[in-house]
Amino acid sequence: MKSEIRHPKFRGLAPTGSSYSTAVETAPGRLLFVSGQLPVDRDGKPVGGSSMEAQATQIFENLKSICEECGVGMDRIIKLNCYVADLSRFGEVRTVRERYLKPPYPAATAVGAQVMGGFLLEIEMVLALD
């Protein structure tokens, strides 16, 4: 039996106005916590150069692959943490994210950070498996 995923609304908070949910609740069920994914292909080769869009696309393809191997769709993602080298370019990440995810969106956080390996972006994920 799959766990139920709910997107609670909080009367004391303004709507997010973007492609993420304030909170996501699951019960009961198994969760998979996925370490930060970098823009590398299945052979470990860097993808995207200085293109934020290309790096984000590779990362979301990697996340999609993880979902598929777990036997679930990307609609089972309940949390994304995005570590972005230049937050002024986060709109490029959001555009790619919206190609892969549909409402109701997972909870999400974007943090400006120095990303390992000189990459522009790293994304970690929490996935509801059942």
4-128, CATH topology level: 60s Ribosomal Protein L30; Chain: A; (3.30.1330)
Kindly state the percentage of the chain with pLDDT values over 70. Answer: 100
Any idea where the domains of the chain sit in the sequence? Answer: 4-128
- Residue 122 pLDDT level (bands cut at 50, 70, 90): very high
Q: pLDDT per residue over 75-86, tens digit each?
A: 999 999 999 999
Are the C-beta atoms of 39 and 58 separated by less than 8 Å?
yes
User: Measured between alpha carbons, how far is 8 from 24 in angstroms, rounded to an integer?
Assistant: 7
Residues 6+ apart with CB under 8 A from 81: 36, 108, 109, 111, 123, 124, 125
pLDDT tens string 9-60: 878 877 777 788 877 888 788 888 999 999 999 889 999 999 999 999 999 9
Alpha-carbon gap, residue 24 to 30, rounded angstroms: 14
Mean pLDDT of the chain: 92
Residue 118 has a pLDDT of 95
